[in-house]
A = this chain, B = another copy of it.
Amino acid sequence: MPDDMSAPLIRDRGPGGDSSASSEPGSPLIGILGTGDFSRSLARRLLASGYQVVVGSRNPKRSAPLFPEEVEVTSQAEAARRADLVFVAVFPEHHSTLAAAGAGLGPALAGKTLVDVSNGLQARRDRDGDGEGDGEGDGEGPSHAERLAALFPDSTVVKGFNTVSAWALQAGPRDGSRQVLLCSDCPSAKRSVKRICRRLGFTAEDAGPLSAAREVEDLPLRLFPAWRRPALCAAALLAFFYLYNALRDVVQPLLLATGGSQKRSPLYKLPVETLNASLPCAALAMLALVYAPGLAAAALQLRRGTKYRRFPARLDAWLRARKQLGLCAFTCAALHAVYSLLLPLRKSARYKIVNMALKQVAEGAELWDEAEVWRMELYLSAGVAALGLLSLLAVASLPSVSGAVNWREFSFVQSTLGYCALAAATAHTLLYGWDRAFDPAQYRLYLPPTFVLAVTPALAVLAGRLALAAPCAARRLQRIRRGWESGRNIRFVLPEDEDGGRSDSSSV
């Protein structure tokens, strides 16, 4: 369901509005080279923010109707000559034509600031060498911005705005797309572009010298980098539990059946039943992975006696992946719920009930196993509680919701409610297991029941949390988090290491 990329509210002006009307006096005249979607959106936004705009086109007559009336569309040379600051919005492979002998914008642009808005090329990242001859060996060379700087040695190049979409320019900046990263070697040029940023409603962030442009250019090519590891981790856990369950519930009965006389093949369990048995195990294991790094961090702080030493990089990355891990766990849990609810819908379930009835008719006795009834009512209740809490956590992870709560509320939801969800999920699993962990018949092929594997890390994490809640540990940890250090026991020596009653630092 792609978004609507047009902005019908911003209409072209009728004849009533004269062309230079809406620009504020004293503003610099902004030039834009190129007439593509980005150029058009940028021109409208600049205009709406009170700038005068001149667009340079190779074919001004053909391009002019694409722009609002207040924008002057002229030749590239003329635009370059007149503008005080120039956005370069042509494809990077054509940067060289701007400096070529014919077009020769070099002298006209001398001493001016050029803003390069180009993105990195897909090819560079994907390394699939599409062989279309994009020019100067795009593989690992300098960034577009650096090459542009080399083409126009007398101008100053600022890299930026490439993370902003034409859509964000038209509709006004929104939450996620407010940030504009700028890099340049010239502080004053960076300053002027920052000022434009702010007036357009964006937030400028300094991203360092021009040598950092490559990284900025590649930002829009990233595909959910924060999700890669958590998703891989979820997939690996799910695959492991699926194979383990298939071994226990399908392969083993098949092997046994060869000797026996069982009629029905258990293969039909693979698409739904085995998957449904694996999803909750993966979810519980991932939930343990969400809360384990916080415990590790707390333990490390306790042992070191300070919060002022950096965590190992691996732990740091793990701490940063908690949100994604948690949402993966929630997805597995939600799928488990859907699959479980599907179970009675299946033909196989209906056949089984009918056949059960047949057997009971033959035996002539009513069917009622009080223990089984209680086990199921209880583990279903715990499961609903766990899923309900996880749903709350997932809703609280939405940017607009998490942005509307204060830090204490955020911590309450993600830490307190999160541990409640972990406890409920553990209870769900233990109640599901009932007494089977102690039943030797369950250890087929010498493999323990799957739920035993899944519940172990969760129990370990819960035990660790309880240990940290012991008064001595909790008090020491709280002091460390408020800046106390074990080496220096006179507290008032160090007020500057503390930060105004805040404990934004990693909570367990």
Contacts and interface: CB of A to CB of B under 8 A. Distances in A.
A486 interface: no
A103 to B, nearest CB: 9
Contacts of A163: 406
Interface in A1-40: 1-6, 9-11, 13-14, 16-18, 21-22, 24, 33-39
Contacts of A203: 48, 172, 201
Contact of A165 (B10, B504, B506): B504
A100 to B, nearest CB: 8
A345 B353 contact: no
A337 B387 CA distance: 13
A443 interface: no
A90 B495 contact: yes
Contacts of A94: 492, 495, 498
Interface in A355-410: 355-358, 360-361, 366-370, 372-378, 380-381, 384, 387-388, 393-394, 397-410
B356 A356 contact: no
A147 interface: no
A209 B22 contact: no
B367 A355 contact: yes
**Contact residues of A: prevailing secondary structure:** helix
A112 interface: no
A21 B182 CA distance: 14
Nearest to A204: B48
Contacts of A399: 174-175, 400-401, 403-404
A384 B36 contact: no
Interface stretch (A184-192, A231-239, A244-252): A184-192
Nearest to A89: B500
B347 A345 contact: no
**Size range of the interface on A?**
35 or more
Contacts of A165: 406-407, 502, 504
B397 A400 contact: no
A457 interface: no
Contact of A120 (B166, B501, B506): B501
Nearest to A502: B38
Interface in A188-236: 190-191, 194, 201, 203-212, 219-224, 226
A42 B145 CA distance: 30
Given A89-B499, A348-B373, A3 B397 contact: yes
Given A220-B408, A351-B373, A502-B119, A9 B181 contact: yes
Interface stretch (A253-261, A264-272, A460-468): A264-272
A181 to B, nearest CB: 7
A181 B406 CA distance: 14
B369 A347 contact: yes
Q: Which of A5, A18, A120, A498 has the most CB of B within 10 A?
A: A498
A494 B63 CA distance: 12
Contact of A347 (B320, B376, B409, B506): B376
Contact of A91 (B3, B320, B500): B500
A92 interface: yes
Contacts of A388: 331, 335, 338
A358 B361 contact: yes
A490 B63 CA distance: 19
Given A381-B272, A400-B400, A406-B219, A502 B37 contact: yes
A286 to B, nearest CB: 10
B224 A404 contact: no
Nearest to A201: B203
Contacts of A47: 206
Interface stretch (A150-158, A321-329, A448-456): A321-329
A51 interface: no
The 8 A-B residue pairs whose C-beta atoms are closest, nearest first, are A1-B326, A36-B499, A16-B209, A176-B404, A94-B495, A21-B187, A400-B400, A357-B357
18 contacts: A2-B294, A9-B219, A21-B187, A34-B495, A58-B494, A92-B500, A132-B475, A166-B499, A174-B403, A201-B203, A223-B408, A271-B380, A340-B342, A346-B380, A348-B376, A353-B354, A355-B360, A399-B404
Given A224-B412, A354-B356, 4 more contacts: A16-B208, A117-B500, A219-B406, A358-B367
